[in-house]
Structure 1
Amino acid sequence: MSSLVLWSPLLPSFHFVNQKPRELYLYSSQIKKFFKTALIFYSLKKDAKLRNEVRHYILTHKKVSLSRFLNFVQKTALSDKEEILKDINIPERIKLDEKNLKKVKLFLYDLKRDEESFFGDAYVYQGIIEIPFESSHYEKIKSASHSYVEALIHAEHTLTRGKGRIEDFYLELSSSVKNWEIPLRLGVWTPNPISARLFWFWGDKEVRDRVRKLYRIELRPHKLFYIPSENQTLGWSEVRDVRSV
């Protein structure tokens, strides 16, 4: 049996804000969505041919709807990787033990402005969840997950420098993540989830500027949900003891 280790509190959905939900589940679709995002990020980083194809499209195409744009990138980047996603075997619903729910004061932290604002009372989940988790593409999802999560940590850490104790959290996170088996960022952790997807292009300044100009969206998530009492941002987690089949 594999373990999902929550290194910082998990907010499974907005249904856990200002109310205690009746059904306490984490859904496999959330985990697979993370892996899809990580695979796209990693593929664009490692595959020069793919990167140049997507780069050419972004720099030359006329503006289309954001959903159409995202679908093009996703379809192109995952054209030969759908089998990796289909091969991840986890239960559709993962039951959360109510005793590990904790009511907290949830804040929205703007890392750029170094400003916190109260968002609401929330029920977050902490601890370790035992889950069946199998994949015959273990090394590929491990590499993609490390690449994406470590890049996110670095981007957020950069914005916390010189900002007191939140920087301490990211210093420790930056060090410990390298020892995680398969790192993830799960649940609700930013009010702007599109930024987490567009972070695919953060490493290319020309592409980054083009996407910003077209869609007026920040490519590096800088507004994050934060729990001051824990001095933690949300969703940092790890899958351990994955069975490679």
Structure 2
Amino acid sequence: MLIFWSGTSFEKNGFLEDEKGKFLPRNAILEALESAVVFYYIKKDKEIENLVKKYLTTKPKIKEISREIKKIVFKKYPVMEGIEIPEKIYLPKENISKELVKVYDLEKKEFTNSFKMEIFKGVLENVHVKSENIEKIKTACKSYARALAEYEHKELKNTEFEDLIVDIQNSIANEWEIPIRVGYWTNTPYKGDLLFFWRIKEVREYLIKELDIDIRPKDVLYLPRTNEFLGWGEIKD
């Protein structure tokens, strides 16, 4: 079962569509899981951390960063091999709506942009994710979701949105089986793929200086009608 607890989008232009309807591609779920697994094993394994750190500080090619980091991690920890995710996850049209979305700048503590895009929210009971390594993936997803929510809590502290992220943290800790962050929820380069290195000043400064990219999240997308941040969901048996 796949549950989107908050509004979720695929990209600014909307969901993909074919003759059967609108859908999320397999890759949207796969990328969310891979981000979590990469974070977890970099955090867990000092050797992997050092390999990735070395790669990131030797002028990597911007378009290859996510792919190369995943290659380093999955070579030693092939936990994503054989995972089964539907190629197309069809979304009931009654759960899709065109919504006003606002961009909340975490540094300025204010909204800096807004636009309308397609949002899905709901439960997909017949969507199943299967893997021989599902327990390892579950552990990685919980670790990643906790770290991501902790970072956002730090940035949202003493704002009107602090309670929202506290609710998310409580759900991650006590309710959600396999928490995931899916789709278009931030404009941050690489989304959460480099989450572990957000706190490593040496890596951040090198990438800013050499590649002119800041890997820390500058913003999150917010849905004013339902008062929630985008992309939070859960995989459940």
Q: Same fold (TM over 0.5)?
A: yes
- Give, as a single letter, the amino acid of the residue that structure 1 aligns with 2:77: K
CA distance in 1, matches of 2:51, 2:199: 16
CA contact (8 A) 2:138 2:177 kept: yes
Alignment partner, residue 156 of structure 2: 160
Aligned residue identity for 1:13: E
* Shift >6 Å, 4+ stretches: none
Equivalent in the alignment of 2:27:
29
- Residue 209 of structure 2 is aligned to residue 210 of structure 1: no
Q: CA RMSD in A?
A: 2.1
Separation in 1, partners of 2:60, 2:29: 28
Pick closer, same or farther for the CA change 1:185–1:211 going to 2, 3 Å. same
After superposition, give the CA deviation of every residue in 1:36-87 in whole Å (9 maximum; x if it has no partner).
121111111001121122234444x2x24212444432221111334x2232
The percent identity for this pair of structures is 32
Aligned counterparts of 1:134 and 1:177: Cα–Cα separation in 2:
21
Unaligned residue ranges in structure 2 (runs of 5+):
none
What TM-score do the two structures reach when normalised by structure 1? 0.87
SS of 2:184 mapped into structure 1: coil
CA shift at 1:208, angstroms?
Answer: 3.0
Quote the residue 2:4 is aligned against: 6
Paired residues for 1:1-245 under 5 Å: 3-16=1-14, 23-59=21-57, 61=58, 63-82=59-78, 84-130=79-125, 131-164=127-160, 166-179=161-174, 180-241=176-237
Partner-residue secondary structure (3-state), 2:115 = strand
Q: Quick check: 1:195–1:217 contact (8 Å CA) kept in 2?
A: no
| Equivalent residue letter for 1:31 | I
Structure 1: unaligned runs, 5 residues or longer: none
How far did residue 193 of structure 1 move? 4.0
Instruction: Report the Cα distance in structure 1 between the residues aligned to 2:149 and 2:100, rounded to whole angstroms.
Output: 23
User: Could you tell me whether the CA contact under 8 Å between 1:9 and 1:124 is conserved in 2?
Assistant: yes
Structure 1 range deviating more: 109-118 or 8-17: 8-17
Count of residue correspondences: 233
Offset at 1:115?
1.6
Contact 1:156 1:222 in 2 (8 A): no
